Amino acid sequence: MQRGHSTASGRPEIVYGPKIKELRVTPIAVTDPPLLNSVGIHAPYALRTVIELVTDDNICGISEIPGNVEINGLLDQSEAVIIGADPFQLNKLRTDLIGRFGQDQRDTRGVNPWDDRKLVHVFSALEVACLDIQGKICNRPVVDLLGGRCREQVSFAAYLFYKPKGAGGALGYKVDPRAISWAAARQTSAESAEEIVDQAQSMCNEFGFKSIKLKGGVFPPEIEVDTIHKLRIAFGPEVPLRFDPNGVWTVETSIKYGRQMEEILEYLEDPTRGQEGMAAVRKALKIPLATNMCTTSFEDIPPGIAHGSEDIILSDHHFWGGLRESISLGKICRTFEKGLSMHSNSHLGISLTAMVHMAAAIPNLTYDLDTHYPWQSEEVIAGGRVKFEDGKVAVPREPGLGISLDRQVLGQLHENYKMCGFARRDDTLEMQKIQPGWKFKATKW
């Protein structure tokens, strides 16, 4: 700590340490398989943005957020706020960003399963990079800045997706799918329940996952419910199953098909849209309901409690405004006796590592976390892909996030971004390329 000039009040200004001198924003495009969901299909590239903050003594902090040209624009504009800022003053950073850009409006979340609000993303990007810097300055891992580790490893779940025929082609397994490498299985189609079971076996075999989530909202409910039953037969009661139709069922459909999965689901995720609809389904079913669609911000919590819309909130530090906000969400969940877990979207190892630090610091993290990581094959962090053992990732012990960038890969993935020409995620447009005239319906069945 140094004593600086006197302030207007006559008290000496305390200069605590380095200030941010540079913000680097690098949009990247990461190859992504054609995964089906309620809004369409994944494009061949998932967009991410890598953020670097550099201090005046050349400490670099990094982070990763979903890529979107509008959010990247706001990130660029945030330079005016972040340059010269103290990386420890995160409350001030938040106030300054809100002062400059205004709060996110609720309706800007959008109708997609993911969240399109801008400021939460920008704050998450800057906060995680600042925490990385703080950790490097204090010689402590980020988990210690969040209150310290409650666990040494963080458990994740297998995340299964239907995939269309013709996009990769069926492998037509003639041998045990557990004997086929995930790198091969990831390329294959998965339209039937049997192919989804093969996908699950190959993914669980490779990563050691002990619970399974199926993304639904693609085929009529009876087909997807049958897939859940086939997964149960293949994996038995010791492997918890979750199912997520991303809100495209009516309340009646959710109750009817929810009942058919009551005995076998660990939880049912966003069967229907809106807090009131979710509350009606929740009253009728005996299984817990989880959400990353109806309660997605702190303002949603009071009405969510009043309605009784969900049992479990799926946090996501990119959508909740960073790691510290997500830790606060954990406390709220504890107060209201809600479960907590984590939502994901296609991502690389910087986001994964941030999730691991945060998850390790939340005492009441009660479920295995979602991750799309198995679906990506590239990696922008030095040393390559993050290792999973028995479905778990070890919590880093190195200072900050404990990772650094592979600059060569970052450059290649940035070239992909420039070449692919995508400005934002649009799964509906992608679907229309293979099925002209395909329309997204917020409620389908």
Q: Tell me if 40 sits within 8 A of 248, measured CB to CB.
A: no
Q: Which residues, including other chains, have CB under 8 Å from residue 45's CB and lie 6 or more apart?
A: 29, 30, 31, 32, 416, 417, 420, 422
Give least dist CB 253 to Mg ion, A. Answer: 17
**115 makes contact with Mg ion (CB under 5 A):** no
Nearer to ligand GKR, 55 or 124 (CB): 124
Nearer to Mg ion, 245 or 402 (CB): 245
Give least dist CB 171 to ligand GKR, A. Answer: 22
Q: Give the helix/strand (H/E) hosting 266.
A: strand 265-269
Residue ranges in 132-171 that form contacts with Mg ion under rule CB under 5 A: none
**311 makes contact with Mg ion (CB under 5 A):** no
Nearer to ligand GKR, 37 or 124 (CB): 37
Nearer to Mg ion, 136 or 425 (CB): 425
Region from 184-192, 292-300, 327-335, 380-388 binding Mg ion, contact rule CB under 5 A: 292-300
Cβ of 393: how many Cβ atoms within 10 Å? 24
Give least dist CB 347 to Mg ion, A. Answer: 15
**345 makes contact with Mg ion (CB under 5 A):** no
Give least dist CB 55 to ligand GKR, A. Answer: 34
Burial code (b: 16+ CB inside 10 Å, e: under 16) for 14-51 equals eeebbbbeebebbbbbbbbbbbbbbbbbbbbbbbbbbb
- How many residues are listed for the chain in this entry? 445
Active site residue 215: yes
Which of the following is catalytic: 163, 213, 215, 338? 215
CA atoms within 13 Å, Cβ hemisphere of 12: 8
- Among Mg ion, ligand GKR, none, residue 224 binds (CB under 5-8 Å by kind): none
Single out the residue of 341, 350, 336, 334 nearest to residue 385, CA to CA: 350
- Among ligand GKR, Mg ion, none, residue 310 binds (CB under 5-8 Å by kind): none
Single out the residue of 240, 186, 229, 202 nearest to residue 376, CA to CA: 186
- Among ligand GKR, Mg ion, none, residue 253 binds (CB under 5-8 Å by kind): none
Single out the residue of 413, 403, 318 nearest to residue 109, CA to CA: 318
Nearer to ligand GKR, 133 or 190 (CB): 190
Give least dist CB 205 to ligand GKR, A. Answer: 22
Structure tokens at 388: 């999973």
> 421 by DSSP, 3-state: which?
coil
Give least dist CB 152 to ligand GKR, A. Answer: 26
As beta bridge partners, residue 66 has 48
Nearer to ligand GKR, 40 or 330 (CB): 40
**292 makes contact with Mg ion (CB under 5 A):** yes
Task: Tell me, letter by letter, the H, E, C secondary structure of 181-226.
Answer: CHHHHCCCCECCHHHHHHHHHHHHHHHCCCCEEEECCCCCHHHHHH
Q: Tell me if 15 sits within 8 A of 358, measured CB to CB.
A: no
Q: With CB under 5 A, what is the number of residues at the site for Mg ion?
A: 3
- Among Mg ion, ligand GKR, none, residue 215 binds (CB under 5-8 Å by kind): ligand GKR
The amino acid sitting at 48 is: R
CA distance linking residue 332 with residue 322, whole number of Å: 16
Active site residue 441: no
Interacting residue ranges for ligand GKR, rule: CB under 6 A: 35, 37, 113-114, 215, 244, 246, 292, 343-345, 372
> 286 by DSSP, 3-state: which?
coil
The side-by-side arrangement of strands in the sheet containing 60-66 is 20-31, 45-55, 60-66
Q: Tell me if 18 sits within 8 A of 59, measured CB to CB.
A: yes
Nearer to ligand GKR, 163 or 372 (CB): 372
Give least dist CB 40 to ligand GKR, A. Answer: 9
Give least dist CB 345 to ligand GKR, A. Answer: 5
Nearer to Mg ion, 114 or 123 (CB): 114
- Encoded one letter per residue, x for contact with Mg ion by CB under 5 A and - for no contact, window 229-258 reads ---------------x--------------
Region from 139-147, 174-182, 262-270, 304-312 binding Mg ion, contact rule CB under 5 A: 262-270
Relative to beta strand 2-6, strand 12-15 is: antiparallel
DSSP letters for 106-120: GGGG-SSSS---SHH
Which of the following is catalytic: 42, 121, 163, 343? 343
> Which residues are annotated as catalytic?
215, 343
Binding site for Mg ion (CB under 5 A): 244, 269, 292
